[in-house]
Chains A and B, each alone.
Chain A
């Protein structure tokens, strides 16, 4: 019995050793072509199973991934829109700062006047009139007739005032008539607005040569505006021999479509020359 058991153990041990030896030889490459064929077929089989497994795993796991990707995408989109709104806010602030810096430069270069800054909050509801509404009124010391400028030049003058707001008549308004001076030609003229917002000069003497590019400034005559405020440049002239005066089109220095912040010249009082105008008695 004991001998039989010993034989059984011995044969098992021998089988183990033989199998182990074959495996060691096979993995050691000593069995040549037979070993390579076996190992490559094993690897191929494993690759086939591994590929199918990954494909099945992907298929089963995909919805979960899409959900998390969508979530991530939504979070990133929210982040992008937050950053975009921040960017817009900062761009607005940069724009405002640039305007304020330009206005500061303007006020420093014209120290003889005192200014009150105001934001443009509206325009006249009627397209026939060229007026803007600003957010400063009599509470801020604004009075009717005060000139309004920005860093580029003259905008208009205060036409009506309430406690916290004022209405400003732009120089493009059809009812505008301002005494101006063409700098290079050294001549006076009248600036008139129009319903389309175009500016033109009238009552320019026929003897004077006005060139495109000549700068137009307020002359100060009539007492309605202080002198030497920039209005724009001459675009072209219209001269006919049959007319008493020549006319000119003006390119305004100010972009009236994009008015945001303006300055009211508070130390200027318009002079009322009405009593000095001679009245003919019948």
Chain B
């Protein structure tokens, strides 16, 4: 149970890496969302209720750094976890396929949700440019990061979900 507390330092580290490193690796005008990939991988490999908590925690941490209003970020990540739970039950035999599906669909929906929300809040973001130059490159980068992140998260999930030995 206490091993779940690893979420705090891990997600903080993810936000730091995202802000300091990943946000500088751009493809056209988009860049990867490592938090999304981590949450997708975690929700595929762990118990459902911890994934919801991780989404809220991760979303809160990202919103603290980002200029995007916090409800948008948290709702977006919760949707990714929901999608992940949905697909896990359907394509549980191929976890990698599930991961790629969740990453693709989650990135697409999350970015579209942010785009629409920011437009509704008065930020002039043109849809055509945003989809072509930001969303699609971001999805591609998320897919590139998905497999290495999944490998790390899978091992971490094993450690966290490991039952204590009986004495």
Chain A residue nearest to B134 in the complex (CB): A127
Q: Which of B4-52 contact A (CB under 8 A)?
A: 15-16, 18-20, 23-24, 26, 28-31, 33, 35
Per-position 1/0 for A226-239, Cβ under 8 A of B: 00000000000000
In the complex, chain A residues whose CB is within 8 Å of the CB of B161: none
Interface of A is mostly: loop
Chain B residue nearest to A131 in the complex (CB): B67
- Report which of B26, B65, B118, B122 forms a contact with A128, defined as CB distance below 8 A: B118
B75, CB-defined interface residue at 8 Å: no
In the complex, chain B residues whose CB is within 8 Å of the CB of A126: 66-68, 114
Q: In whole angstroms, how far apart are the Cα atoms of A122 and B122 in the complex? A: 25
Residue pair A133, B129 in contact (C-beta under 8 Å): no
Per-position 1/0 for A103-138, Cβ under 8 A of B: 000000000000000000111111111010100000
Residue pair A122, B133 in contact (C-beta under 8 Å): no
Q: In whole angstroms, how far apart are the Cα atoms of A80 and B65 in the complex? A: 41
Q: In whole angstroms, how far apart are the Cα atoms of A124 and B35 in the complex? A: 13
A218, CB-defined interface residue at 8 Å: no
Q: In whole angstroms, how far apart are the Cα atoms of A122 and B66 in the complex? A: 10
In the complex, chain A residues whose CB is within 8 Å of the CB of B19: 121-125, 133
Residue pair A125, B133 in contact (C-beta under 8 Å): no
Q: Which of B64-78 contact A (CB under 8 A)?
A: 65-68
Interface of B is mostly: helix
Residue pair A128, B68 in contact (C-beta under 8 Å): yes
State which of A83-91, A191-199, A208-216 sits at the interface with chain B. Answer: A191-199
Residue pair A159, B67 in contact (C-beta under 8 Å): yes
Q: In whole angstroms, how far apart are the Cα atoms of A127 and B136 in the complex? A: 12
Residue pair B134, A174 in contact (C-beta under 8 Å): no
CB distance from B63 to the nearest CB of A (A): 9
- Report which of A125, A169, A174, A197 forms a contact with B23, defined as CB distance below 8 A: A125
A167, CB-defined interface residue at 8 Å: yes
Q: A175-B123, A194-B129 are in contact. Are A133 and B29 (CB under 8 A)?
A: no
B153, CB-defined interface residue at 8 Å: no
CB distance from A258 to the nearest CB of B (A): 10
Number of interface residues of B (CB under 8 A): 32
In the complex, chain A residues whose CB is within 8 Å of the CB of B24: 123
Q: A174-B124, A175-B124, A196-B133 are in contact. Are A124 and B66 (CB under 8 A)?
A: yes
Chain A residue nearest to B135 in the complex (CB): A127
Q: In whole angstroms, how far apart are the Cα atoms of A174 and B23 in the complex? A: 17
Chain A residue nearest to B27 in the complex (CB): A127
B85, CB-defined interface residue at 8 Å: no
Q: Which of B30, B114, B124 has the most CB of A within 10 A?
A: B124
Per-position 1/0 for A24-51, Cβ under 8 A of B: 0000000000000000000000000000
- Report which of A125, A167, A196 forms a contact with B15, defined as CB distance below 8 A: A125
Per-position 1/0 for A126-162, Cβ under 8 A of B: 1111010100000000000000000000000001100
Residue pair B68, A129 in contact (C-beta under 8 Å): yes
In the complex, chain A residues whose CB is within 8 Å of the CB of B23: 122-125, 127
Q: A123-B19, A133-B19, A197-B29 are in contact. Are A128 and B129 (CB under 8 A)?
A: no
In the complex, chain B residues whose CB is within 8 Å of the CB of A129: 66-68
Q: Which of A123, A126, A175 has the most CB of B within 10 A?
A: A126
Residue pair B65, A124 in contact (C-beta under 8 Å): yes
Q: In whole angstroms, how far apart are the Cα atoms of A124 and B16 in the complex? A: 11
Inter-chain pairs besides A125-B66, A126-B67, A128-B115, 7 sampled, C-beta below 8 Å: A123-B24, A128-B68, A128-B114, A131-B66, A131-B67, A169-B67, A174-B124
What are 20 A-B interface contacts by the 8 Å CB criterion?
A123-B20, A124-B23, A125-B62, A125-B66, A126-B66, A126-B68, A126-B114, A127-B29, A127-B134, A128-B114, A128-B123, A129-B66, A129-B67, A129-B68, A133-B65, A167-B67, A174-B123, A195-B126, A195-B130, A195-B133
